[in-house]
């Protein structure tokens, strides 16, 4: 009954392992020689695969960075699961996660233009990011899960689907990081938190509370 499922699962694991190996090899070369100095041919040779195999998994060099980053994000979420759960409210959890994310992204600043360009190009062509990555970790899915849990707890409005909120927030964070790359002040943490405030509270001015009428006193 399960005979057909087992080979398929084995093939998927093998594909994941190969993609991870290729991206890890590429990242080591980028760290050692610089991103621009490393060619796809060098990556294939160092990974001991045919060039055609590398291009089958990663058609452009930026995709290798995207894969590595998504794996790092998944590992980072697993490492911080306990600390995240220790925060009592959705807002506290999100602010903690955004501060941690800002530190992580700042440490990888030199790669961010390539990563962002890849994601932008993939979105423009309506293409998914590498399949081996999205099957295991997806930033949008992480955000959607956090929004959904907050809706179920009654902490935020459930009028919009959690997935829609995740997409909207992704674009706000994208604007924050691209702005930071162009001008590093204010820092990325501050920009991320401002993006979160914008999503949570909007830009409309809140009406002032009505001034209570003066109470009459007896002469």
Q: What is the pLDDT of residues 12-45, one digit of tens each?
A: 899 999 999 999 999 999 999 999 999 999 999 9
CA distance 195 to 154: 22
Each residue's pLDDT tens digit, 179-208: 999 999 999 999 999 999 999 999 887 666
Instruction: Please tell us whether the domain made up of 62-201 is placed in CATH 3.90.226.10.
Output: no
User: In b/e form, how buried is each residue of 9-32, taking b as 16+ CB within 10 angstroms?
Assistant: eeeeeeebebbbebbebbbebbee
For 42-64, write each residue's pLDDT tens digit.
999 999 999 999 999 999 999 99
- Tell me how crowded residue 130 is: count the other CB atoms within 10 A of its CB: 20
Beta strands in 21-70 (DSSP E): none
Q: Could you tell me the pTM of the whole model?
A: 0.82
Q: What residue ranges do the domains of the chain occupy? A: 62-201
């Amino acid at each position: 009954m399960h005979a057909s499922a087992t080979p398929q699962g084995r093939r998927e694991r093998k594909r994941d392992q190969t993609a991870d190996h290729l991206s890890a090899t590429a990242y080591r070369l980028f760290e050692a020689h610089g991103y621009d100095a490393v060619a796809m041919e060098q990556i294939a040779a160092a990974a001991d695969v045919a060039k055609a195999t590398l291009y089958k998994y990663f058609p452009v060099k930026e995709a290798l960075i995207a894969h590595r980053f998504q794996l790092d994000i998944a590992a980072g979420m697993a490492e911080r699961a306990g600390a995240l759960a220790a925060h009592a409210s959705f807002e506290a959890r999100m602010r903690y996660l955004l501060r941690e994310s800002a530190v992580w992204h700042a440490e990888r600043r030199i790669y961010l233009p390539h990563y962002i360009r890849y994601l932008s190009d993939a979105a423009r062509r309506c293409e998914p990011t590498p399949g081996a990555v999205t099957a295991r970790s997806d930033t949008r899915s992480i955000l959607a899960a956090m929004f959904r849990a907050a809706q179920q707890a009654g902490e935020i409005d459930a009028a919009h689907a959690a997935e829609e909120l995740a997409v909207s927030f992704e674009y706000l964070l994208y604007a924050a990081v691209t702005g930071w790359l162009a001008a590093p002040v204010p820092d990325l943490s501050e920009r991320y938190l401002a993006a979160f405030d914008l999503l949570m509270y909007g830009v409309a001015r809140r009406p002032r509370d009505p001034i209570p009428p003066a109470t009459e006193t007896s002469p």
